[in-house]
Chains A and B, each alone.
Chain A
């Protein structure tokens, strides 16, 4: 009896241990869109060769199984075309929520279990560069590949090293309703404020979110444009705040005054990107400041055409001109933990050809980062007109930014500073100095 009980207990323990220590299986969409179970990372131990079958793990926010999203359709098309071009390389897509891509990659790097290709936001790159997690793509890119980039190959470089290839460009832009009064784009920030104050339209005003939630991007993105508009950098060479000056104070005063003067509702202090988008879709304010990558989505959701909901470059705070574009967006990178760097590069190369980007922009509105797609007749059509206008703006008056490794904290501190200005009446100067004190303590 005792022996029998011990046998049962031992078998139970062994079964539990086996269950706990067995490889975890996860279901992820495969290249053909059907879910498939995968075991481990799929990285083979043998080095790449031209004929060996390879499976690459690709981390992205896009779910290729989503039949409603244009970006999912674009990804499905790319995966299908790549499978035909490179039949020996299989892509295993793993979809993660966009705010988690960066932190998951950091964790994966520490655990030594990274994907082969990852989609990262430009402002997350400094963290991964500092964590020494990404491969220098200059080792893979040919001289021919390095040509034909809208902002040049050296954009988004770190000390001459290129750790990610930009796959799409975006910037905060001005959305405005032509069916509300005054119905025209302003010539400057001050013009926009005056038009809002003087209009009797119930929709008069400017929608701009200031919540520190969701990484504070609602305010952080346009803030960069307007600090550049003031001729200021965000950070100096030591990584400290570089806009502690009169013009920097003026930028913050201008934003805070939107709320103080009732042009922007007080509720916007708690608005994130999605809240702003919902406001535009529901026919909110005459003017709104939001990312250019949402144009098509917003027009579809609001059921309006481009004549009714138009977009324009951001109006400058310092004269009758446009503010600089804060050019940012998604990039592709190869983590150092990959065993298939050559195959990973082939995949990135394929996704970032001029042809691929042209096909993508027609489907999704994501702006190409290559120059040559913009000579396609599509950009002269009504469907492509906004994209061409934005690309011209990016090229003539846009720049990428070194975000530092504490971008999320910077956005939160800056967003809170605006709330302090509105609620507690501190000035732009006090706000900027407070930001400098807090941020410089973090950046060291």
Chain B
């Protein structure tokens, strides 16, 4: 019997491909594109509780910019995101390098490092709130034991910012470490040996071998963590609620407050559009940094 061989045209292949992709595309439209479009729409409309009214142009945006808290929200966001990023990668990069070594403790250490990552934001927030509670929390007690007194970690605005950053970093550094670890392990050992033969120490190895080797992954991890931290609500809301004195009220927390505590859907949507634009900026920065790299 002759086997009939069907010729697949590029058009036919594309149609089949899109057909198989259709369910996934539908889900993305339903859970992402449609809600985003609605939110953008609400940002330009008058709202009363959860009822949506007529088009009012930029009034909601003017309203949020006029709020005394607006500049403070942006400042709190910058402190939280930048502080978390710096601390996360200061920990993750050397940790990834250390964990890339093959010795008998590496396997166990890799598991230990990953443990904070499996906690939810709520659990982490409650855990750190307890750790830092005055007179009861172990961290507070330890600091009192050493220094005689302890800061008000959750009641003092400056220390509250530090506290949420530390809790966030504790939760987030494992993910960055794992990404960077994967990159470090792909660096050929011969390159390290070559540096060693030339008399280079650990710094030269890191600067001329390790860092160039993980740069692309570092950029990806940086952007992913930036967007994650920028949009994070649960940890901050559970630990401090955005206080004290709105010192930890980031843009994401403000969106939650406006929508669900104050029932001002229009303002929440306007803030959300602002956040969306900033997220696009971060993504554009990532794409530009990747495309400008000749090695990609």
Complex CA gap A419/B152 in Å reads 13
A212 contacts partner chain B, Cβ-Cβ < 8 Å: yes
Map CB proximity to B onto A271-304 as digits: 1 under 8 Å, 0 otherwise: 0000100000010000000000000000000000
Q: Which of A4-44 contact B (CB under 8 A)?
A: 5-6, 9-10, 12-13, 16-17, 20
Interface of A is mostly: helix
Number of interface residues of B (CB under 8 A): 37
B50 and A109 within 8 A (CB): yes
B161 contacts partner chain A, Cβ-Cβ < 8 Å: no
Q: Which of A156-164, A261-269, A331-339 contacts B (4 or more CB under 8 A)?
A: A261-269
B83 contacts partner chain A, Cβ-Cβ < 8 Å: no
Complex CA gap A235/B104 in Å reads 69
Complex CA gap A267/B149 in Å reads 13
A203 contacts partner chain B, Cβ-Cβ < 8 Å: no
A110 contacts partner chain B, Cβ-Cβ < 8 Å: yes
The one of A13, A106, A215 that contacts B19, using a Cβ cutoff of 8 Å = A13
A267 and B263 within 8 A (CB): no
Nearest residue (CB) in B for A282 is: B136
Given contacts A12-B23, A127-B49, A270-B154, contact A106 B245 (CB under 8 A): no
Given contacts A1-B6, A16-B23, A438-B68, contact A269 B155 (CB under 8 A): yes
B152 and A106 within 8 A (CB): no
B105 contacts partner chain A, Cβ-Cβ < 8 Å: no
B49 and A416 within 8 A (CB): no
Interface of B is mostly: loop
The one of A5, A103, A270, A438 that contacts B263, using a Cβ cutoff of 8 Å = A103
The one of A13, A282, A409 that contacts B262, using a Cβ cutoff of 8 Å = A409
Q: Which of B217-272 contact A (CB under 8 A)?
A: 240-246, 260-263
A-B residue pair count with CB separations less than 8 angstroms: 103
Q: Which of B124-169 contact A (CB under 8 A)?
A: 133-136, 152, 154-157, 160
* Residues of chain B lying within 8 A (CB to CB) of residue A212: 241-244
B155 and A131 within 8 A (CB): no
* Residues of chain B lying within 8 A (CB to CB) of residue A130: 48-49
B190 contacts partner chain A, Cβ-Cβ < 8 Å: no
* Residues of chain B lying within 8 A (CB to CB) of residue A5: 16
B154 and A127 within 8 A (CB): no
* Residues of chain A lying within 8 A (CB to CB) of residue B244: 211-212, 269-270, 416, 419
Q: Which residues of B contact A (CB under 8 A)?
A: 6, 12, 16, 19-20, 22-23, 26-27, 30, 48-52, 68, 133-136, 152, 154-157, 160, 240-246, 260-263
Q: Which residues of A contact B (CB under 8 A)?
A: 1-2, 5-6, 9-10, 12-13, 16-17, 20, 103, 106-107, 109-111, 127, 130-131, 211-215, 265-270, 275, 282, 405-406, 408-409, 412, 415-416, 419-420, 423, 438, 442
